[in-house]
């Protein structure tokens, strides 16, 4: 395919005028949000309670608490599981920063584990070697909407008496052996941020089947109190608490979107599977791995550049080239992005071991013993961070297979013309665009 790339002035592969923005809004959303708006109060009330009940029933959980972000829900998971100052918590080396900063929120220490090069998830075979005498829990990140090998991870956790926390922020509806994400460990966190497959602008949900974990998380969620706002409160702080509650309008929006989620999920699955099948054989393109044990929700459909085949070995050149390819895909009308450019141990807050000043929480006596964030320990995560490009939102409902086909054509067009990708030229084009907007 020799057609001129859109970034060089050619015709885009995707007709963006036909792509519906995410999330689709209809009468259901307007009705429920307006109903909440005209309630006597927009603070926590019947919409919150209904959303918690409906989400728990939909996902298969006993308890749920609606909160203001997935990050807050992760923090609640840690506190519910009794994680405290100086404890160690295992987490993947590649994820969004919240997967690990939530550990710092309660003065615990993240211990990073390298990823599997095909699933992009924490490598279960590297978990036991990372366990320390202080390890209390494992945060399993169901990244990009794919569940990890939970039987293997839960067996390791049971052997070492560790809690299992699911970071299911991207995994709404994804399954492992027929069981939904968020039901596979001791507790879990979901996000409803704008980018998520189920969204209400901003928000999150903490879920668990364990009453003790639920009560511990609820104290953190509302000022350290033992009673929730809808209960009889004595306004006494029994533990360190935050204000992680959410409001009625956002809850109503989330409820409305939940009524449509099964349709969203079906559409996204069909579009993702279409790409997975019909991009086979595209030159220098490595497709995402879809294991038999899991059903992906395709939150991110990840493309990887086969740098080994192309003979590009310098890490800096790989990053530069990858960024140019992502820009070329965007100009074809595909919402492509570099989702996370750094692995977590690279980030200053971890590398400097100084989250709160004076080296804390690593400065807690004995907490830093054996904690090593040397980047060479995470070769798979580093390689992945340099070569991946994520497709987000374009494949989501109500965009169907007609749009998925245009996306396929755009991907094939760009990857068939990688020899024409000039990173310096593309960088100059992008800079000129930015300057013209000033």
Domain spans of the chain? 6-22+262-341+383-436, 27-260
pLDDT digits (tens, 9 = 90+) for 245-289: 999 999 999 999 999 999 999 999 999 999 999 999 999 999 999
Q: Quick one: pLDDT at residue 234? A: 92
Q: Quick one: pLDDT at residue 199? A: 96
Instruction: Check pLDDT > 50 for residue 436.
Output: yes
pLDDT digits (tens, 9 = 90+) for 297-336: 999 999 999 999 999 999 999 999 999 999 999 999 999 9
Under DSSP, is residue 75 helix (H, G, I), strand (E, B) or coil? Answer: helix
Which CATH number does 27-260 carry?
3.40.640.10
Instruction: Check pLDDT > 70 for residue 167.
Output: yes
Across 145-172, average pLDDT: 98
Q: Quick one: pLDDT at residue 392? A: 84
Instruction: Check pLDDT > 70 for residue 347.
Output: yes
Across 217-246, average pLDDT: 94
Q: How far, in Å, CA of 11 to CA of 7, rounded?
A: 9
In this chain, the answer to whether the domains covering 6-22+262-341+383-436 and 27-260 adopt an identical fold is no
Confidence of residue 437 (pLDDT cuts 50, 70, 90): confident
Under DSSP, is residue 285 helix (H, G, I), strand (E, B) or coil? Answer: strand
Q: Quick one: pLDDT at residue 1? A: 47
219 is catalytic: no
Burial of 37 (0-12, 13-18, 19+ CB in 10 A): exposed
Provide the strand spans (E) within 128-203.
135-141, 163-167, 175-176, 179-180, 187-191
Q: Quick one: pLDDT at residue 309? A: 96
Cβ atoms of residues 285 and 303 within 8 Å: yes
Report the predicted TM-score, pTM, of the whole model to 2 decimal places: 0.96
Q: How far, in Å, CA of 27 to CA of 30, rounded?
A: 5
Burial of 363 (0-12, 13-18, 19+ CB in 10 A): middle
The catalytically annotated residue of 136, 163, 180, 196 is: 196
pLDDT digits (tens, 9 = 90+) for 14-41: 999 999 999 999 999 999 999 999 999 9
Which CATH number does 6-22+262-341+383-436 carry?
3.90.1150.10
Please state, for a pLDDT cut of 70, what percent of the chain lies above it: 100
Query: How many C-beta atoms lie closer than 10 Å to residue 208's C-beta?
Result: 29
- Tell me which residue of 81, 48, 246, 224 sits closest to 166, measured CA to CA: 81
């Amino acid at each position: 395919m020799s057609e001129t790339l859109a970034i060089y002035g050619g015709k885009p592969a995707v007709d963006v005028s036909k792509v519906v923005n995410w999330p689709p809004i209809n009468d259901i959303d307007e009705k429920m949000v307006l109903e909440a708006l005209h309630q006597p109060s927009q603070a926590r009330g019947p919409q919150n309670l209904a959303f918690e009940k409906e989400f728990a029933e939909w996902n298969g959980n006993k308890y749920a608490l609606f909160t203001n972000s997935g990050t807050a829900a992760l923090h609640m998971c840690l506190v519910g599981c009794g994680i405290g100052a100086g404890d160690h918590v295992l987490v993947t080396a590649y994820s969004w920063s919240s997967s690990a900063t939530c550990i710092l929120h309660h003065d615990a220490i993240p211990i990073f584990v390298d990823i599997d090069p095909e699933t992009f998830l924490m490598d279960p075979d590297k978990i036991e070697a990372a366990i320390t005498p202080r390890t209390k829990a494992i945060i399993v990140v169901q990244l990009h909407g794919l569940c990890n090998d939970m039987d293997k991870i839960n067996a390791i956790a049971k052997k070492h008496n560790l809690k299992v926390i699911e970071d299911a922020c991207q995994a709404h509806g994804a399954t492992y052996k027929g069981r939904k994400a968020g039901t596979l460990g001791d507790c879990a966190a979901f996000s409803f941020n704008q980018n998520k497959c189920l969204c209400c602008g901003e928000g999150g949900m903490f879920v668990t089947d364990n009453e003790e974990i639920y009560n511990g998380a609820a104290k953190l969620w509302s000022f350290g109190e033992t009673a929730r706002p809808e209960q009889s409160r004595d306004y006494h702080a029994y533990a360190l608490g935050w204000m992680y509650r959410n409001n009625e309008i956002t809850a109503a929006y989330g409820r409305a979107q939940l009524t449509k989620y099964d349709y969203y999920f079906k559409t996204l699955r069909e579009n993702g599977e279409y790409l997975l099948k019909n991009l086979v054989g595209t030159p220098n393109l490595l497709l995402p791995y879809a294991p038999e044990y899991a059903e992906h929700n395709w939150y991110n459909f990840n493309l990887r550049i086969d740098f080994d085949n192309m003979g590009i070995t310098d890490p800096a050149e790989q990053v530069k080239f990858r960024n140019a390819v992502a820009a070329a895909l965007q100009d074809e009308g595909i919402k492509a992005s570099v989702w996370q450019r750094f692995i977590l141990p690279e980030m200053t807050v971890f590398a400097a071991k100084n989250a709160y000043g004076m080296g804390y929480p690593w400065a807690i006596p004995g907490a830093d013993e054996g904690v090593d964030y040397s980047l060479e320990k995470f070769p798979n995560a580093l390689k992945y961070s340099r070569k991946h490009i994520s497709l987000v939102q374009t494949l989501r409902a109500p965009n169907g297979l007609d749009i998925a086909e245009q996306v396929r054509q755009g991907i094939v067009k760009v990857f068939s013309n990688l020899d024409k990708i000039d990173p310096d030229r593309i960088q100059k084009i992008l800079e000129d665009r930015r300057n013209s907007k000033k």
